[in-house]
Structure 1
Amino acid sequence: MTTDKILREALADHITASGDLRSPEWRQAVLGIPRHEFLRGGFFRRTDEGGRTGWEPVGPEDPAWLPACYSDDSLVTQVAGTVMPADIEGRIYRQPTSSSTLPGLVVRMLEELDVGDGMSVLEVGTGTGYSTALLCHCLGDELVTSVEVDAEISGRARAALGRVGHFPDLVVGDGLKGHPEGAPYDRLIATCGVLHIPAEWIAQVRPGGQILATVGGWLYSSELARLTVRQDGTATGRLLGGAVSFMLARPQVPPPLGVLPDMSEGEERETHLADDPLEDWTARFVAQLAAPRAQRFRLAQDGGDLDILLDVDAGAWAALRREGERRLVRQGGPDRLWDRIEDHLSRWHRDGAPTLDRFLITASPEGQEITWTT
């Protein structure tokens, strides 16, 4: 048995033991698809020296490359929107923009998709093409359509898929708009995060079909949602739990912070919430429901750091700080951002702080609502 097949067996065993891989069909797909073929261009390894996060390339000539390809880890494959591992030597200090998702999560999502023989699937976010290949292995190439916004990434995925003998319909375009030419689909799966379920996705999935996507916000707490499309053009479902995170779809990334407001203005009061409620993943998700366009950052100043929330488009902001045993918030702009967050978090706590798998989601062309059950 070749080294990569041994590594594939070990990966399948690992994600079976974790509970992500549950069915023989998807196990055969994991064993049958060589992940390293989708990482021939290398990946970026994270470095954290000198207090800065950097990325350095790792290619097939590196002894660490092949074992990493079969680790249950996400591997960054593009930085700053255009930079690939082969483009640089040394390090780059920019934000990742594309990655090969950890196999355990890929397989968990495919299991949750509940796809069967003869079902057509639209995948939003081709990426390296690895998850596309797994779908092709189980369903057949003719039933798989995958959309990728980046033409270069799509081209690399096409080449990798061809190397392993799969030729699905690959589309370059804005995945948030789906691919109406192939509709209706039985299933839609997104491998990028979204702020809300697009109306186009609902329209392109047949009634009774399902949408599986990661829903989150600019406070960077997100969760996997599975929705069933209804005859009335809405989609309803649940969050599945597990703190799932993907890079946001590029059209939905937050705007630049720009010129910051004067934090000495506004009105100050004591906040009634416990210290640092936004450090908790679920609490931060709840806060996003009240302030979906708020971004969070820290600002150093004499006397202690400010924890800042800023809605750039609305011009609303909140700055939290400690003063002895007290935690104070100062707010400014056209609306009181922290008041909304505090109210939402207080109601969630009064209801027993339910976990994310007790949240319900309803999406329609008019918008999206996420609530929780007690």
Structure 2
Amino acid sequence: MTDQAQLHQQLIDRMTIGGSLRTEPWRRAAAAVPRHEFLRGGYFRRALGSDFTAWQPIREGDPGWLEGCYTDESLVTQIAGTIVPEDIRGRIMREPTSSSTLPSLVLRMLEDLQVEDGHKVLEIGTGTGYSTAVLCARLGARNVTSIEYDPWVASRARTVLGHFGTYPTLVTGDGLHGHGAGAPYDRVIATCGVRTMPQAWIEQTRPGGLILATLCGWLGSSELARLTVHEDGTASGPVLGGAVSFMLARPHIPPPLGLLPDLDDGKERETTIGTEVLEDWSSRFVVQLAVPDAQRLTMQRDRRTEDVLVDVATGSWAAVYSEGGRRLVRQGGPEPLWDAVEEQFGSWCAAGAPTLEEFTVTVTPLGQTIRW
């Protein structure tokens, strides 16, 4: 057995033992797709010894490249929308914009998709093409349609899939609009995060079909949800849990905050909760439901740390901090943001702080609701 084959088998064994790879059809599909073929352009790793989030390229042939391809980790493949490993010598400090998702999450989601032989699947987010290839290995390329927003990423995936001998329907465009020409689909799966489930996905899924996607918020908490599409054009289903995180679909990325409001203005009062609700994954998910258009930043002001929420839709803001043993909030703008946080968090606690797996998502033409 070659080093590559051994590394591949070890990854499959780890995913099986870990429970993300649960059925024989998906084990065969995972075994048929060598991940390193989709990472020959290299990837980025976090640079050690830096006070900031810096990335350094690992290229094919570099020490550890092959081993890295078969680690159960997400590997960044693009930075700042255009920069790839071959472009960089040294380090770069910019935000990742494309990645190869950790294989255990790819296979967990494919298992959770509950496909059957002959199902037509729409994949949102082709990325490197690895998950697309696994889908094709399981269902056949004729049953797989995949959409990628970034033209360069889409072109590279098309080339690699073609080299691999796999020819699904590949579309370059905004995956939030789906691909009506191939509808209806039995299953839709998204490998990017969305703030709200797009209506187009529901319209393009047959009644009884499933949509699997990660619902995210601008405060940084997200969860996987699986919705069943109904005859009346609505969809509903449970949050599956597991603290799943994906990069947001680019049209859902928060806008730049721009000029901040005057944080010395506003009304100050004591608050029953502090910023600990923003540190815990579950409570932060709950808070996002109350202030879905808010972004968070942390600032040092007047020799204290203030956590600030700014609502980009209304201009409302709230600064939360501690002083003299008291928890304080100062708010400004048309809507008192922290009042909404306190009310939502208080209702959740009064209900016994149900786990996120007890939440249900419902989508109608009027919008999306998430309730416990």
**Normalising by structure 1, what TM-score?**
0.98
- Name the residue aligned to 2:168: 168
- Name the residue aligned to 1:157: 157
- Name the residue aligned to 1:231: 231
- Name the residue aligned to 2:42: 42
User: Which range moved further: 173-182 or 305-314?
Assistant: 305-314
Deviations 1:59-105 (A, max 9, x none): 01112110010000000000000101111111111000000000000
- Name the residue aligned to 2:368: 368
Instruction: Please state how far the C-alpha of 1:50 moved relative to its aligned partner.
Output: 3.6
Q: Which residue identity does 2:240 align to in structure 1?
A: L
Q: Contact 2:274–2:320 at 8 Å: present in 1 too?
A: no
Separation (CA, whole Å) in 1 of partners of 2:6 and 2:159: 24
- Name the residue aligned to 2:319: 319
- Name the residue aligned to 1:268: 268
- Name the residue aligned to 2:220: 220
Specify the SS of the correspondent of 2:361: strand
Residues 88, 274 of structure 1: alpha-carbon distance in 2 compared, 3 angstrom cutoff:
closer
**Normalising by structure 2, what TM-score?**
0.99
Q: Which residue identity does 2:68 align to in structure 1?
A: A
Separation (CA, whole Å) in 1 of partners of 2:293 and 2:41: 35
Structure 1 stretches (4+) deviating beyond 4 angstroms? none
Separation (CA, whole Å) in 2 of partners of 1:274 and 1:319: 10
Specify the SS of the correspondent of 2:289: helix
Deviations 1:337-373 (A, max 9, x none): 110011000000011101110000001222100000x
Instruction: Please state how far the C-alpha of 1:17 moved relative to its aligned partner.
Output: 1.2
Q: Contact 2:218–2:254 at 8 Å: present in 1 too?
A: yes
Separation (CA, whole Å) in 1 of partners of 2:313 and 2:196: 18
- Name the residue aligned to 1:67: 67
For residues 350-369 of structure 1, the aligned pairs below 5 Å read 350-369=350-369
Q: Does 1:12 align with 2:50?
A: no
Q: Does 1:101 align with 2:101?
A: yes
Q: Contact 2:45–2:56 at 8 Å: present in 1 too?
A: yes
**% same residue:** 59
Instruction: Please state how far the C-alpha of 1:49 moved relative to its aligned partner.
Output: 3.2
Instruction: Please state how far the C-alpha of 1:48 moved relative to its aligned partner.
Output: 4.8
User: Which range moved further: 154-163 or 116-125?
Assistant: 154-163
Q: Contact 1:208–1:230 at 8 Å: present in 2 too?
A: yes
Separation (CA, whole Å) in 1 of partners of 2:163 and 2:325: 62
- Name the residue aligned to 1:204: 204
- Name the residue aligned to 2:306: 306
- Name the residue aligned to 2:184: 184
- Name the residue aligned to 1:119: 119
Q: Does 1:129 align with 2:129?
A: yes
Separation (CA, whole Å) in 1 of partners of 2:238 and 2:291: 21
Instruction: Please state how far the C-alpha of 1:303 moved relative to its aligned partner.
Output: 2.5
Deviations 1:249-295 (A, max 9, x none): 00010010101111111111111125511100000000000111111
Separation (CA, whole Å) in 1 of partners of 2:21 and 2:165: 23
Name structure 2 gaps, 5 residues minimum.
none
Separation (CA, whole Å) in 2 of partners of 1:44 and 1:303: 37
Deviations 1:126-182 (A, max 9, x none): 000000000000000000000000111011111111222211000000000000010
Q: Which residue identity does 1:150 align to in structure 2?
A: D
Separation (CA, whole Å) in 1 of partners of 2:184 and 2:292: 30
Separation (CA, whole Å) in 2 of partners of 1:242 and 1:48: 28
Separation (CA, whole Å) in 2 of partners of 1:133 and 1:291: 38
Specify the SS of the correspondent of 1:51: coil
Separation (CA, whole Å) in 2 of partners of 1:162 and 1:3: 25
- Name the residue aligned to 1:330: 330
Separation (CA, whole Å) in 2 of partners of 1:275 and 1:162: 50
Specify the SS of the correspondent of 1:305: strand
- Name the residue aligned to 1:278: 278
* CA root-mean-square deviation: 0.9
Separation (CA, whole Å) in 2 of partners of 1:37 and 1:50: 31
Q: Contact 1:275–1:327 at 8 Å: present in 2 too?
A: no
Separation (CA, whole Å) in 2 of partners of 1:262 and 1:255: 19
User: Which range moved further: 268-277 or 83-92?
Assistant: 268-277
Specify the SS of the correspondent of 2:301: coil
- Name the residue aligned to 1:148: 148
Deviations 1:213-268 (A, max 9, x none): 00011001000000000000000000001000000000010010101111111111
